[in-house]
Amino acid sequence: MKETSLIGCFFLPKIQTESFNSPKPMKTNLSIFSIGLILTLTACNQKIKSEPVTTTHKDTTIAFQEQFRPQYHFTPPAHWMNDPNGLVYNQGVYHLFYQYYPEDIVWGPMHWGHAISKDLIHWEHKPIALYPDKNGYIFSGSAVVDKQNSSGFGSLENPPLVAIFTYHNDVREKVGGNDFQTQGIAYSLDNGDTWTVYDKNPVIGNKAIRDFRDPKVFWYEEGEQWILTLVAGDYARFYASGNLKDWKHLSDFGKNTGAHGGVWECPDLFKLKVENSNEEKWVLFISINPGAPLGGSGTQYFVGDFDGKTFTTDQGDIKWVDYGTDNYAGVTFNNTPDGKRIFIGWMSNWLYAQKTPTEVWRSAMTLPRELSLAKVGKQYVLKSTVVGQIASLAENQIEEATVRLPKTVESEIVSQAEISFSTANSSFKLVFSNAQYDSLALQYNANTNAFSIDRTLSGLIDFEENFGKEIHVIQTPNILGSNIEFKVFSDQSSIEVFINGGTYTFTEIVFPKKPFNKLEIFGDENKEIKNLSIKKMNTIW
Ligand code: FRU
């Protein structure tokens, strides 16, 4: 049976709101912050490049220093956030809009929150961009720069920023019909600061499709028109328009293709060049909830062709953008200055998103990732790596050309770091831990060709029964026979793993009772790893 993913949201218990406005002071344990940098150094040619670390966490009652608050991932100052929306670059800034409920830390009537960034790393919080109106709540969608003023909302001198989103009409939903989701537009003439809702909304009506949402629009050069992709229950629909107001249905995709364990959500269609060739392919992202390999929410992708009307693929298997539990509803930026395809996902899972143990805000975005496409044998494989701008946050702490395993690093930097090394295809295991006996283990088994993430002992886990129940084991066939380049970004409540230039990525959230301050790397007896690098990541707040 297909479910509406949001149904779950409506019935989840409401958490008391008082605590969000005036968060209760939490106990500050200064001792954890005052331990200096203690390194257990076992290997040869080691260089420590900078002074011992002073922590960014001084007072857990201060905004952006609360327990679990990510220090270099985007979070709203307070309250509930889910999907990234309207990702677009315009006039020198990247815009990140997001599903936002400003009155609670659980899902509620949706607004579009807003933040901007010059470098995709440091964010400035802006006022709410879009509020629910008579047509409904403002669900997920996209934004474009209407350079030719095709909509007539602006002028050629001042092209409008146009947002295209889903209206969710809860009154009509409660009446029991299937017509409660429609598509609307709004525009801004001051680069996103203020918005005017189009007075003839909705621009795409709906008579009977229950889950009909999440429009992603882009300018299709070859056909000189706007193309819109949205999802309708368990398949995608494509539309075309010359003016962003009048839309013509072109075709459908996916009724019998891909994963169908839940509702399709948040589509994205874009072109990528295949690495080391002149070939170009179209990639279609479809988030699905439930039905991901590790349960709950996940994002699948299809590689194929788009001729201006129809998307086709001969891909037989199901592929996932990220193989961890916590990267959902991710989409890419329109209009990037360098033509790069940059992705941001919501770092959570509807299985437990509303129950995670934060008090002031809820959930974070993934780091922005640049996407590329490789051909491995006959298959096209999506790769993702964190954008190069991330280097501005990194302070080199440890660099060692050759490290004999096991290796132990005792330092609070491991809770907020970029850690990388390479191995000749052999097994290894990384264990993050703290004095509270919390641990998080990442393991690659070269014999079974599987990568696993074990967060069963990672700290607070019992806020939801599935969160820490099982070790997550993921088969990684494309690694076979090759060297492994391993990179992990840890932050106060997440890890993002990238293997072999992002051929596989795994994103998971964790809630250790105190930040991890020890990292151990194990391998087969007497094995060594190469080019170990641990960089402390500075806070963006
Ligand atoms: C995905 C999603 C979208 C919807 C939005 C509502 O997480 O369910 O399909 O537009 O969240 O907040």
Distance CA 391, CA 482 (A): 26
Pairing of the two strands 328-332 and 319-320: unpaired
Domain end position, chosen among 350, 384, 418: 384
Non-local CB neighbours of 344 within 8 Å, separated by 6+ positions: 74, 84, 87, 96, 330, 331, 333, 365, 366, 368, 369
Active-site choice (59, 83, 234, 524): 83
- Identify whether residues 429 and 361 lie together within a single domain: no
pLDDT given for residue 61 in this prediction: 75
Is 455 part of any domain? yes
Domains in the chain: how many in total?
2
**Three-state secondary structure call for residue 88:** strand
pLDDT given for residue 9 in this prediction: 31
- Report the C-alpha gap between 200 and 202 in whole angstroms: 6
pLDDT of residue 477: 87
23 within domain boundaries: no
CA of 395 relative to ligand 1 center, distance in Å? 37
Whether 79 maps to a domain, the answer reads yes
User: 139: Cβ below 6 Å to ligand 1?
Assistant: yes
Three-state DSSP state, 222: helix
Could you tell me the strand order of the sheet in which 137-145 lies? 137-145, 161-168, 181-188, 196-197
**Under 8 Å between Cβ of 82 and 99:** yes
Is residue 494 in contact with ligand 1, taking CB distance under 6 Å? no
Intra-chain end-to-end CA distance of the chain, in Å: 44
Our mutation pick for probing the ligand 1 site, out of 140, 166, 346, counting the most ligand atoms within 8 A of Cβ, is 140
User: Is residue 140 in contact with ligand 1, taking CB distance under 6 Å?
Assistant: yes
**Helix intervals (H) in 145-285:** 170-175
| Domain co-membership, 195 together with 153 | yes
Predicted structure pTM score: 0.90
**Which pair of structure tokens corresponds to residue 29?**
């344990």
The number of residues making up the chain comes to: 541
Cis peptide before 290 (omega within 30 of 0): yes
Residues 454 and 378 in one domain: no
Domain for residue 130, yes or no?
yes
Does the residue 28 lie in any domain? no
The answer to whether residue 30 is domain-embedded is: no
If asked whether residues 355 and 410 sit together in one domain, one would say no
- Is residue 6 within 6 Å of ligand 1 at its C-beta? yes
Ligand 1 centroid to Cα of residue 5, in Å, is: 8
Q: Tell me, using a 6 A CB cutoff, whether residue 5 lines ligand 1.
A: yes
Where would I find the H helices in 370-506?
none
285 and 350 together in one domain = yes
Which one of 384, 407, 428 terminates a domain? 384
Q: Is 525 helix (H, G, I), strand (E, B) or coil?
A: coil
If asked whether residues 375 and 414 sit together in one domain, one would say: no
Does any domain span residue 115?
A: yes
Mean pLDDT by 10 residues, the chain (541 residues): 33 27 29 31 35 48 93 98 98 98 98 98 98 98 98 98 98 94 98 98 96 98 98 98 98 97 98 98 98 97 98 97 98 97 98 97 98 94 98 96 96 98 93 98 94 98 96 90 92 97 97 98 89 98 95
Q: Are 218 and 165 contacting, i.e. CB atoms less than 8 angstroms apart?
A: no
Which is it for the CA torsion 233, 370, 415, 531, positive or negative? positive
Q: 360 with 424, same domain?
A: no
Structure tokens at 540: 């963006």
**In a shared domain, residues 326 and 234:** yes
Instruction: Please state, in angstroms and rounded to a whole number, the distance separating the CA atoms of residues 455 and 453.
Output: 6
| Probe residue for ligand 1, chosen from 80, 81, 130, 139 as the CB with the greatest number of ligand atoms within 8 Å | 139
Q: What's the CATH number where 439 sits?
A: 2.60.120.560
> Are 193 and 265 within one domain?
yes
Give the ligand 1 atom nearest the CA of 263.
Answer: 9
Say whether both 300 and 431 belong to one domain: no
The minimum-distance atom of ligand 1 relative to the CA of 107 is 12
- 199 a catalytic residue: no
Among 384, 417, 442, the domain boundary falls at: 384
What is the pLDDT at residue 59?
Answer: 64
Q: Is the CB of 265 inside a 6 Å radius of any atom of ligand 1?
A: yes
Same domain, 275 and 352: yes
- Does residue 165 form part of some domain? yes
Q: Indicate whether 359 and 401 sit together in one domain.
A: no
pLDDT of residue 299: 98
Question: One-letter amino acid identity for 363?
Answer: S
Q: What is the pLDDT of residue 525?
A: 75
Give the structural domain span for 443: 395-537
CA atoms of 15 and 537, how far apart (whole Å): 33
- Indicate the top mutation candidate among 4, 99, 106, 234 to test ligand 1's pocket, ranked by most ligand atoms within 8 A of CB: 99
Ligand 1 midpoint to CA 318 (Å): 22
Q: What angle do CA 380, 365, 289 make, to 5 degrees?
A: 65
**What CATH number has the domain bearing residue 290?**
2.115.10.20
Q: Rounded to whole angstroms, how far apart are CA atoms 502 and 495? A: 14
Helical residues (DSSP H) of 165-244, grouped into ranges? 170-175
Q: Closest ligand 1 atom, CA of 166?
A: 10
Q: What's the CA gap between 476 and 488, in Å, rounded?
A: 17
